[in-house]
């Protein structure tokens, strides 16, 4: 039994067995990931402060962005952290160099105090998600 284990161990330590060819490393076709076209979303700003709002007010802000990549940009979803926000956004593909917008409307009805809401924009970029944020201080009418 000892002879078998020793023979197996020596055979498994053979440096020539199981080597991979370096053709994969030197093959330009296997390196195509780095040369693939990619959309890039670049926002003017990713956060907006509405300041002080009277409870019940509805306010909107439009986030503007540009496709700074070299492939068409596609927004697949705009997910909101709260039902108190609504969104409208550019739905058609945006060519490299062109821009688009995401309009967020916030309804402060039923809210009070400091509010911070996030909006996740899902695109065909890397990374695929970009976080936008809106915030406000909501005050009741008798404290305005």
Which tens digits make up the pLDDT trace of 79-126? Answer: 999 999 999 999 999 999 999 999 999 999 999 999 999 999 999 999
Give how far the C-alpha of residue 56 lies from the chain's centroid of Cα atoms, to the nearest Å.
31
* Tens digit of each residue's pLDDT (9 = 90 or more) over 2-46: 454 444 444 444 444 444 444 444 444 444 445 589 999 999 999
Helix (H, G, I), strand (E, B) or coil at 144: coil
Sequence-ordered strand ranges (E) for 108-144? 113-123, 129-139
CA distances from 106 to 1, 34, 36, 56, 76 (A): 76, 40, 38, 10, 21
| pTM for this prediction | 0.74
Domains and CATH numbers, the chain: 46-143 (2.60.40.10)
Q: By C-alpha distance, which of 117, 134, 113 is closest to 81?
A: 117
Helix (H, G, I), strand (E, B) or coil at 29: helix
């Amino acid at each position: 039994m000892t002879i078998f284990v020793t023979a197996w161990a020596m055979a498994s330590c053979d440096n020539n067995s199981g080597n991979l060819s370096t053709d994969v490393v030197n093959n330009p076709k296997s390196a195509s990931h780095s040369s693939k076209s990619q959309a890039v979303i670049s926002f003017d700003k990713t956060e907006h402060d509405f300041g002080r709002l009277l409870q019940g007010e509805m306010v909107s802000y439009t986030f503007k962005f540009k496709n700074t990549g070299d492939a068409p940009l596609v927004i697949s979803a705009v997910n909101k952290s709260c039902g108190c926000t609504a969104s409208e956004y550019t739905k058609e593909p945006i060519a490299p160099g062109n821009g688009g917008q995401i309009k967020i409307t916030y309804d402060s009805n039923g809210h009070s105090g400091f509010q911070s809401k996030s909006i996740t924009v899902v695109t065909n970029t890397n990374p695929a998600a970009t976080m936008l944020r809106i915030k406000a201080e909501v005050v009741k009418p008798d404290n305005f």
